[in-house]
A and B are shown apart, each in its own frame.
Chain A
């Protein structure tokens, strides 16, 4: 049963890390422009010849 003492905090920490990541993503505007992000992969960065 001592393994619980390790696994439960680990599970909680991982959950908290996920929660923290979500909060960070929201704060830094990752969800501001979902359609734009989908479209941006189609832009060629290299074609400076235009």
Chain B
């Protein structure tokens, strides 16, 4: 709780910066980051938000973001500037719902207190007073806590549609109005408790839904931000300054270091390097780029630092064309109707006509307007759509929680519903079926000592090859050797001294076909070649999908022969050489043939397909654009979460259907009672809570089911 906050004497002139630090995993990391940053001269305070994997730093304006990122790197953490979270606006929505839930809970408890005394037989004057007090509590509470429902119902009615909120709003408002009338005329039955309880249960469902969304989204947001959102621009005086992607203009000269993504299209001015364009085209092999070559935004510089003159920025880049395709592709998704709304399209007319018919029936039987209206309201309250409002989100939240533990972040409940319907899956190749990072092709070329030297050298550098090498060696259980004089020469490699010998990890002196580095120990030179390997469990995951009746295929932008080789290896159909619109056309053709397609892809070139597919999943290493377009993101090197997602989604929909059946049975029993006038506020309250508990309890069973499947 008490972060070390040093003297704030510079408080008046401090500015705040935020960074995402995905590497924070424990209490020690929090302490290290906060203490380490606070010790930096010019930093007033640093505060870690562990859930969001962010750190907020208050510092003097003289300290730039790059200085702070460098400080974090010295502490052993990779950091990125945190942009305004594009998915963050859900937070405000969650808070509003949570406040409404708190108010409804307060109202419900107090009104219930009074109602229990009334049911227990409070007599005339006391009962009237209690009804008045209930009314005084209920009306402001309903006005506040009911707003989310009223607003959404109004919106739906304005467009001449109905959704779940229409019957809810009508029920709550009628019940409140009638109870108010009862109170004023000194009647026996007031339904304030029922109305407020209904709001409380439904709000609980909404809050669960919103929390699931915001949790997954903040998880995804912490993965975002590795792509070129800006560039270091060379100033006339020779210094460099960081410029956001939107402010880049043609003519500027960007200095792009190894491992950085380009933020704009341009032409190489100076330096020779290899460029990874897999995000943009799906092509797996890096290509060489030298002065005069054209490069595009979204490509990653793998080799030496280069100077690039911007030729097109922001809206004119090749990237922006892809964004436009995505916008169009996303339209079809918005037409999907969620299961709760689908159910309410049948449910609302049935309930409303039932209530109306009972009103007419009792009128014909000569019961009088007031009595008939009481019965009609009882019907509306007893048929409260708790199963729809609470059971669906409860089941989905439990499923999403179980999936999150297995490394899959689902953005919302609708994604789970669509995942359950999938009967075909299309995968991108590079970065999706493969890990998307270079790894040593044959670790056997190094002996144990060479491994530990290589690891010690590689972990000092941010170069993609070094990172891949370090990761692979660490996975193999190698311990880094102790080195002296470790130094990095940009564009050359790492050098150090080990037991009196010169050691180095440098790029080969001759141009090689693939990616490779040379490890020098004393006089011996070992070449380490790199490839982009398949994820370890791709075969099992595809088999698991097939067992669920899902046919898999590969669509890739890479060369046809490379793709066909992978397809043959995995035994599935494979199409190569596709541009983004080809992928989209293919999805359209499958959809027209009646298939519901799951698209899994990572690159910018997959963006339109991810947005256009029935449902889509992106790996955690995917481009920002793809992660935002996809319905779910899986983290880690394993591919199994994709198959697991479909299985859990189907189990979830099974539970949801059970809940609907339970709700239908309950209504069949309760509605006749209400129609024949046996339902008092007491019975309504008991029936409502009992049915809610039943469906929520049933939904919670899913946690066990999902957990068991996960460990299988």
| Least CB separation from B48: chain A residue | A36
A3 within 8 A of B: no
Chain A residues with Cβ below 8 Å from B48 are: 33, 36
B77 within 8 A of A: no
B110 within 8 A of A: yes
Chain A residues with Cβ below 8 Å from B31 are: 43-44
Chain A residues with Cβ below 8 Å from B106 are: 15-16, 18-19
A4 CA / B126 CA spacing, docked (Å): 10
B161 within 8 A of A: no
Shortest beta-carbon distance from A29 to chain B in Å: 9
Chain A residues with Cβ below 8 Å from B137 are: 12
| Least CB separation from B133: chain A residue | A8
B150 within 8 A of A: no
Chain A residues with Cβ below 8 Å from B27 are: 39-43
A19 CA / B145 CA spacing, docked (Å): 13
A45 CA / B27 CA spacing, docked (Å): 12
Shortest beta-carbon distance from B296 to chain A in Å: 39
B109 touches A15 (CB 8 A): yes
B98 touches A26 (CB 8 A): yes
How many residues of chain A get a CB closer than 8 Å to chain B's CBs? 26
B30 within 8 A of A: yes
Chain B residues with Cβ below 8 Å from A15 are: 106, 109-110
Q: Given the interface contacts A12-B110, A16-B106, does A37 sit within 8 Å of B99 by beta carbon?
A: no
Chain B residues with Cβ below 8 Å from A18 are: 106
B26 touches A36 (CB 8 A): no
Shortest beta-carbon distance from B219 to chain A in Å: 11
| Least CB separation from A39: chain B residue | B27
Chain A residues with Cβ below 8 Å from B50 are: 33, 35-36, 39
A19 CA / B48 CA spacing, docked (Å): 28
A38 CA / B109 CA spacing, docked (Å): 30
| Least CB separation from A44: chain B residue | B31
| Least CB separation from A22: chain B residue | B102
B51 touches A40 (CB 8 A): no
B543 within 8 A of A: no
| Least CB separation from A9: chain B residue | B133
A39 touches B103 (CB 8 A): no
Chain B residues with Cβ below 8 Å from A33 are: 48-52
Q: Given the interface contacts A39-B26, A39-B27, does A34 sit within 8 Å of B51 by beta carbon?
A: yes
Q: Which of A8, A26, A35, A42 contacts B51 (CB 8 A)?
A: A35
A26 touches B30 (CB 8 A): no
Shortest beta-carbon distance from B369 to chain A in Å: 33
A36 touches B30 (CB 8 A): yes
Chain A residues with Cβ below 8 Å from B102 are: 19, 22-23
Chain A residues with Cβ below 8 Å from B568 are: none
Tell me the chain B residues, 105-138 only, with Cβ under 8 Å from chain A. Answer: 106, 109-110, 113-114, 126, 133, 137
Q: Given the interface contacts A19-B102, A45-B2, does A36 sit within 8 Å of B110 by beta carbon?
A: no
A36 touches B95 (CB 8 A): no
How many residues of chain B get a CB closer than 8 Å to chain A's CBs? 27
Tell me the chain B residues, 471-495 only, with Cβ under 8 Å from chain A. Answer: none
A14 CA / B2 CA spacing, docked (Å): 30
Chain A residues with Cβ below 8 Å from B109 are: 15
Q: Given the interface contacts A32-B51, A36-B48, A43-B27, does A23 sit within 8 Å of B99 by beta carbon?
A: yes
| Least CB separation from B114: chain A residue | A8
A15 CA / B110 CA spacing, docked (Å): 8
Q: Given the interface contacts A15-B109, A19-B106, A45-B2, does A36 sit within 8 Å of B49 by beta carbon?
A: yes
A43 CA / B651 CA spacing, docked (Å): 41
Shortest beta-carbon distance from B514 to chain A in Å: 42
Interface string of B31-63 (1 = CB under 8 A from A): 100010000000000001111100000000000
B4 within 8 A of A: yes
| Least CB separation from B109: chain A residue | A15
Shortest beta-carbon distance from A18 to chain B in Å: 7
Shortest beta-carbon distance from A20 to chain B in Å: 10
A31 CA / B644 CA spacing, docked (Å): 31
| Least CB separation from A45: chain B residue | B2
B113 touches A40 (CB 8 A): no
Chain B residues with Cβ below 8 Å from A26 are: 95, 98-99
Chain B residues with Cβ below 8 Å from A8 are: 114, 133
Chain B residues with Cβ below 8 Å from A35 are: 50-51
A45 touches B4 (CB 8 A): yes
B669 within 8 A of A: no
Chain A residues with Cβ below 8 Å from B49 are: 32-33, 36
A16 CA / B110 CA spacing, docked (Å): 10
Chain B residues with Cβ below 8 Å from A1 are: 126
Shortest beta-carbon distance from B327 to chain A in Å: 33
Shortest beta-carbon distance from B114 to chain A in Å: 8
Shortest beta-carbon distance from B505 to chain A in Å: 31
A44 CA / B4 CA spacing, docked (Å): 11
B30 touches A19 (CB 8 A): no
Tell me the chain B residues, 1-39 only, with Cβ under 8 Å from chain A. Answer: 1-2, 4, 26-28, 30-31, 35
A10 CA / B95 CA spacing, docked (Å): 28
Chain A residues with Cβ below 8 Å from B95 are: 26
Q: Given the interface contacts A8-B133, A40-B1, A43-B31, does A19 sit within 8 Å of B103 by beta carbon?
A: yes
Shortest beta-carbon distance from A3 to chain B in Å: 12
A4 CA / B133 CA spacing, docked (Å): 12
| Least CB separation from A12: chain B residue | B110
Interface string of B145-178 (1 = CB under 8 A from A): 0000000000000000000000000000000000
A29 CA / B428 CA spacing, docked (Å): 41
Shortest beta-carbon distance from B122 to chain A in Å: 10
Shortest beta-carbon distance from A32 to chain B in Å: 6
Chain B residues with Cβ below 8 Å from A22 are: 102
A40 CA / B26 CA spacing, docked (Å): 9
Chain B residues with Cβ below 8 Å from A4 are: 126
Chain A residues with Cβ below 8 Å from B51 are: 32-36
A11 touches B113 (CB 8 A): yes
Per CB-CB distance, the 10 closest pairs between chain A and chain B, nearest first, are: A36-B50, A42-B27, A39-B27, A43-B31, A33-B49, A35-B51, A19-B106, A33-B51, A35-B50, A22-B102
Q: Can you report 20 A-B residue pairs in the complex whose CB atoms are below 8 A from each other? A: A11-B110, A12-B137, A15-B109, A15-B110, A19-B102, A23-B99, A32-B51, A34-B51, A35-B50, A36-B49, A36-B51, A39-B27, A39-B30, A40-B1, A40-B27, A41-B27, A42-B27, A43-B27, A45-B4, A50-B35
Interface, chain B (partner A; CB < 8 A):
1-2, 4, 26-28, 30-31, 35, 48-52, 95, 98-99, 102-103, 106, 109-110, 113-114, 126, 133, 137
Known A23-B102, A43-B31; 9 more pairs at CB < 8 Å: A11-B113, A18-B106, A19-B102, A32-B49, A32-B51, A33-B49, A33-B50, A40-B27, A43-B30
